């Protein structure tokens, strides 16, 4: 029989091949605890095999919650023998990650959206697995170009397949405000009406956002919403002019940009791609009332423990103003019961122990002085020259930015998150997809495939990268994307 070659991404902690194979047939049943893992696997198998795959006791595929806490929250063991599949974990999340392994052991046709002929055979194996890092994220910028709920769900489908567990949504920026806020309706009625290039923009209603959060939870992904402050706030200021600082834009921003940002003293919507020109009024109490209301709604809508408050590229803000601002903004996050996440610039502020900083500067730059001592903080590693999937693959890539150079497939895979900021505690890694040049779901697929799986492996698998071995596995995944109907992935010459 023609059994698929094993090409797991991310590579598991341990894999042993056993003799023989197991086949899914019209008689196969699934025994699983109530929860996303069993639901996901049942739906996946039914869709591509066309078999009924009933759920109930006595199935030849068994997912079970073992009492063994030593597996960790996401750890699991998967044993496939000729008589069946047995997947054990301590939590449903662990089962869900293991289901992604079983999925990749099946023929690529398992990704098809309609019933295929099969056969549905897998090699017998024993896999013991758990992640290296607890934070394995992907960020989607829905501001520079807006992406609707269906596209975000598609993004969740893609990242969950590679065992990521965090969906970071960049929801606010100069070019738009993308989440409805009940107490500040102009943020969306005004602030969401455009995007980079002048398109119509758009926003998530609170019901839309709840749908995304629920879909993410169904894939054991935590949604981390980002309200970027005090910079990247032109859309908020265009919606509520009183949020703007008292200094005249022309004092700190050169023409012609300054002329686009203000007309008759009022902040305008912005559709360009410059960064670092906007800042909230740091000295007005009303700014913090605004933050309190908005952060309160973001927190209430987001069941996860984190709120991301940006903090990057506040380039027109003096260091004193930045520190004063963060000293008032950070406690609001805490008051709403959330842990602070912020871009690396926020290392200049006083952050409570346990806060997370997202490192984004390229690995080729020296570590900034403010990050020399990160005691009490944890770092999410997103160095631009490795994890910024909005950067071009090479000079010939039709879309994408190049401010940190180009990011080839190999470059996004061959790096070590713990050696960028020596001594820092590393929570994990996150791929970032900024969307200044990305305008469609096909563009998203073009930029994330084939680079995203490499960042996922850096986050999940033991250190020590072997490009030759990995690129063979990655090559095999193209058949899975083909089968899933993902047509626009980048046909990289590196594979």
Residues of the shown chain interacting with ligand TNX in the complex, contacts defined by CB under 6 A:
275, 312-313, 343, 360, 388, 390, 401, 434, 436
Q: Which is nearer to ligand TNX, 129 or 312 (CB)?
A: 312
Smallest separation, CB 358 to ligand TNX (Å): 7
Smallest separation, CB 391 to ligand TNX (Å): 7
Geometric angle at alpha carbon 75, from 375 and 12, rounded to 5°: 95
- Contact call for residues 64 and 77 (beta carbons, < 8 A): no
Residue 254: is it exposed, middle or buried by C-beta count within 10 angstroms (0-12/13-18/19+)? Answer: exposed
- Contact call for residues 59 and 31 (beta carbons, < 8 A): yes
Smallest separation, CB 428 to ligand TNX (Å): 17
Contacts of 323 by beta carbon, 8 Å cutoff, 6+ apart = 348, 349, 350
Cross-strand partners of 129: 76
Q: Which of 399, 472, 473 is nearest to 433 (CA)?
A: 399
Q: Please spell the DSSP secondary structure of 354-366, one letter per residue.
A: T-EEEE-S-TTSP
What is the CB-side half-sphere exposure of residue 355 using CA atoms within 13 A?
25
Q: Which is nearer to ligand TNX, 141 or 321 (CB)?
A: 141
Q: Which is nearer to ligand TNX, 12 or 137 (CB)?
A: 137
Smallest separation, CB 484 to ligand TNX (Å): 27
Smallest separation, CB 434 to ligand TNX (Å): 3
Interatomic CA distance for residues 39 and 41, integer angstroms: 6
Residues marked as catalytic: 313
Q: Which is nearer to ligand TNX, 74 or 385 (CB)?
A: 385
Q: Which is nearer to ligand TNX, 193 or 344 (CB)?
A: 344
SS3 304: coil
**Pair type for strands 84-89 and 61-65:** parallel
């Amino acid at each position: 029989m023609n059994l698929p070659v094993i090409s797991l991404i991310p590579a598991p902690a341990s894999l042993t091949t056993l003799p023989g194979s197991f086949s899914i047939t019209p008689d196969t049943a699934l025994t699983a605890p109530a929860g996303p893992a069993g639901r996901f696997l049942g739906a996946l198998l039914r869709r591509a095999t066309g078999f009924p795959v009933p759920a109930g006791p006595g199935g030849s595929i068994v997912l079970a919650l073992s009492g063994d806490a030593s597996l960790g929250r996401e750890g699991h063991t998967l044993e496939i023998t000729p008589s069946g599949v047995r997947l054990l974990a301590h939590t449903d999340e662990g089962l869900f990650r293991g289901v992604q392994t079983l999925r990749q052991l099946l023929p690529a046709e398992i990704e098809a959206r309609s019933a295929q002929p099969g056969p549905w055979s897998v090699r017998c194996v024993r896999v013991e697995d758990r992640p290296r890092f607890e934070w394995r994220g992907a960020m989607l910028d829905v501001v520079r170009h807006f992406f609707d709920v269906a596209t975000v769900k598609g993004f969740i489908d893609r990242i969950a397949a590679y065992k990521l567990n965090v969906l970071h949504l960049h929801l606010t920026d100069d070019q738009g405000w993308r989440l409805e806020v009940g107490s500040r309706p102009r943020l969306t009625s005004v602030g969401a009406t455009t995007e980079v290039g002048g398109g119509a923009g758009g926003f998530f209603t609170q019901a839309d956002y709840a749908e995304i959060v629920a879909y993410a939870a169904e894939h054991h992904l935590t949604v981390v919403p980002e309200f970027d402050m005090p910079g990247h706030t032109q859309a908020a200021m265009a919606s509520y002019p009183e949020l703007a600082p008292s200094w005249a834009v022309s004092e700190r921003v050169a023409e012609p940009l300054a002329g686009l940002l203000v007309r008759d003293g009022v902040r305008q919507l912005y559709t360009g791609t410059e960064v670092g020109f906007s800042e909230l009024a740091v000295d007005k109490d009303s700014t913090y009332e605004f933050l309190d209301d908005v952060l309160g709604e973001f927190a209430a809508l987001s069941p996860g423990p984190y709120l991301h408050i940006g903090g990057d590229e506040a380039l027109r803000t003096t260091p004193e103003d930045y520190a004063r601002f963060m000293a008032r903004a950070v406690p609001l996050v805490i008051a709403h019961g959330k842990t602070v996440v912020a871009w690396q610039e926020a290392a200049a502020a006083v952050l409570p122990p346990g806060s997370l900083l997202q490192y984004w500067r390229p690995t080729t730059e020296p570590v900034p002085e403010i990050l020399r001592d990160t005691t009490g903080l944890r770092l999410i590693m997103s160095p631009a020259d490795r994890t910024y999937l909005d950067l071009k693959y090479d000079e010939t890539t039709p879309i994408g930015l190049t401010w940190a150079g180009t990011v080839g497939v190999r470059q996004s895979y061959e790096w070590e998150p713990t050696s960028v900021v020596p001594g820092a505690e590393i929570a994990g890694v996150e791929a970032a997809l900024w969307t200044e040049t990305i305008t469609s779901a096909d563009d998203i697929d073009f930029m994330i495939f084939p680079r995203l799986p490499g960042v996922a492996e850096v986050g999940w698998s033991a250190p020590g990268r072997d490009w030759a071995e990995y690129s063979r596995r990655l090559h095999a995944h193209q058949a899975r994307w083909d089968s899933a109907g993902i047509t626009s992935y980048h046909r990289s010459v590196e594979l």
